[in-house]
């Protein structure tokens, strides 16, 4: 079955982790043997593996965060917004190179997305991998007025914050609302047609953003607080508010978001028994709150700073996302609903979002 994955940090992996994504996952793991860092030699994503898993369309990120003491040093490294701006232009160039070579297809509008998916459904073996460009953490956006420049460059989604704080908003692990320029960023995003990703926003920022921003909203890689209590997760009330806004929520595969009491760097998948069934638990929780399967989807975040040491134990590479449909079948989901969860809900979302702008 075709898969639409709503969150992959591909360029960050290629540039910051120095991974050749044209190689099989097994080859990348070999080259990282002996390197420091738990995720080294444990990656799960590459272009061949995406194709093997029939992950034919995904949201690919730009990510360059300002340095914040004691906050994820592997991600937050730039001393100025200008440096972050320059860094993500390098990431954009990475995607562009492979689009020019026919490995990837850069999708920026509904006709392009529809044509791409139609081609994959007919014969995915001969098609490029399609991507929609998103920015995780708005640190590279120098001013709210620059949103138009980013949209014209092909960016279609912005998540204003990541871990800690950004220049515009409080994010994961912090308490507080939007900063002074945050409302203007959101208004400019709505004006140009940029989609808002609420993933990583603090609870207060989530509330404030939904009040200010009236455009299309998604949660690219988010799980459920009712199952795993943590501010990184969505509360039931937040999920219901997203459902009311016709949003789609992508289930993340990061183990600490799947089962409670996980300690990153200490807990192992074997200790907890975390598996793809737990991913489906979070998908099912969204469906139960919605009363249908129209708002739950996939947003793996695989290789988002972790590897198989922090993944479901029955996942070796991203190709194992193809195990999800059978789990859903065992739980009584119909084939039409499984298709929605695996890719159709994201297609419906972007059709509405992009035709709304037009």
Of the given ranges (69-83, 108-122, 142-156, 267-281), which has the lowest mean pLDDT?
69-83
Q: What is the pLDDT of residue 201?
A: 98
- How does residue 352 score in pLDDT terms, banded at 50, 70 and 90? very high
* d(C-alpha 193, C-alpha 356), whole Å: 9
Q: What is the dihedral of CA 235, 237, 242, 245, to 10 degrees?
A: -170
Residue 267 has pLDDT above 60, yes or no: yes
**When comparing pLDDT for 38 and 339, which is higher?**
339
For range 174-191, the mean pLDDT = 97
User: Beta strand pairing status for 195-197 and 217-218?
Assistant: parallel
For 297, the enclosing helix (H) or strand (E) is strand 296-298
Does this model's pTM top 0.95? My answer is yes
Domain count, the chain: 1
- How does residue 68 score in pLDDT terms, banded at 50, 70 and 90? confident
CA 177 to chain centre: 22
* d(C-alpha 103, C-alpha 223), whole Å: 31
For range 312-328, the mean pLDDT = 98
What digits encode the pLDDT tens for the residues 50-62? 999 999 999 999 9
Between the CA of residue 135 and those of 215, 261, 299, what are the distances in Å? Answer: 17, 29, 15
Instruction: Print the domain residue range for 168.
Output: 4-357
- How does residue 71 score in pLDDT terms, banded at 50, 70 and 90? low
- How does residue 69 score in pLDDT terms, banded at 50, 70 and 90? confident
- Residue 134 has phi, psi (to 5 degrees) of -130, 155
- Say if residues 253 and 221 touch (Cβ distance below 8 Å): no
Q: What is the pLDDT of residue 103?
A: 98
Residue 334 has pLDDT above 90, yes or no: yes
Q: What is the pLDDT of residue 73?
A: 63
User: In the predicted model, what is the mean pLDDT of the chain?
Assistant: 96
- How does residue 296 score in pLDDT terms, banded at 50, 70 and 90? very high
CATH number for the domain harbouring residue 104: 3.20.20.140
Q: What is the pLDDT of residue 357?
A: 55
Residue 49 has pLDDT above 90, yes or no: yes
């Amino acid at each position: 079955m075709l898969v639409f994955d709503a969150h992959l940090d591909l360029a960050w992996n290629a540039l910051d982790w120095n991974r050749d994504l044209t190689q099989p996952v097994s080859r990348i793991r070999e080259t990282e043997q002996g390197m420091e860092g738990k995720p080294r030699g444990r990656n799960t994503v590459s272009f061949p593996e995406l194709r093997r898993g029939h992950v034919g369309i995904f949201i690919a990120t730009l990510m360059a965060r300002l340095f914040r003491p004691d906050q994820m040093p592997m991600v937050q490294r730039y001393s100025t917004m200008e440096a972050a701006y320059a860094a993500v232009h390098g990431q954009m160039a990475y995607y562009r190179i492979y689009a020019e070579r026919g490995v990837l297809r850069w999708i920026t509008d509904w006709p392009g997305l529809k044509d791409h998916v139609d081609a994959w459904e007919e014969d995915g073996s001969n098609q490029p991998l399609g991507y929609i460009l998103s920015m995780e953490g708005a640190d590279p956006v120098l001013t709210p007025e620059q949103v138009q420049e980013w949209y014209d460059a092909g960016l279609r989604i912005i998540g204003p914050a990541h871990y800690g704080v950004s220049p515009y908003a409080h994010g994961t692990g912090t308490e507080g609302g939007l900063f002074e320029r945050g409302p203007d960023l959101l208004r400019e995003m709505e004006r140009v047609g940029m989609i808002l990703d609420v993933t990583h926003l603090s609870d207060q920022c989530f509330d404030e953003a939904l009040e200010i921003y009236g455009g299309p909203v998604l949660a690219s890689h988010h799980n459920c607080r009712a199952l795993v209590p943590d501010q990184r997760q969505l509360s039931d009330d937040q999920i219901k508010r997203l459902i009311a806004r016709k949003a789609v929520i992508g289930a993340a595969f990061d183990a600490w978001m799947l089962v409670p009491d996980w300690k990153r760097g200490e807990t192992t998948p074997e200790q907890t028994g975390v598996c793809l069934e737990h991913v489906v638990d979070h998908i099912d929780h969204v469906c139960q709150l919605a009363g249908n399967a129209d708002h739950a989807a996939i947003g793996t975040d695989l290789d988002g700073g972790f590897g198989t040491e922090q993944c479901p134990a029955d996942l070796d590479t991203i190709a194992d996302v193809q195990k999800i449909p059978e789990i859903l079948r065992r739980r009584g989901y119909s084939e039409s609903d499984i298709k929605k969860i695996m890719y159709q809900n994201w297609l419906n979302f972007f059709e509405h979002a992009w035709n709304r702008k037009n």
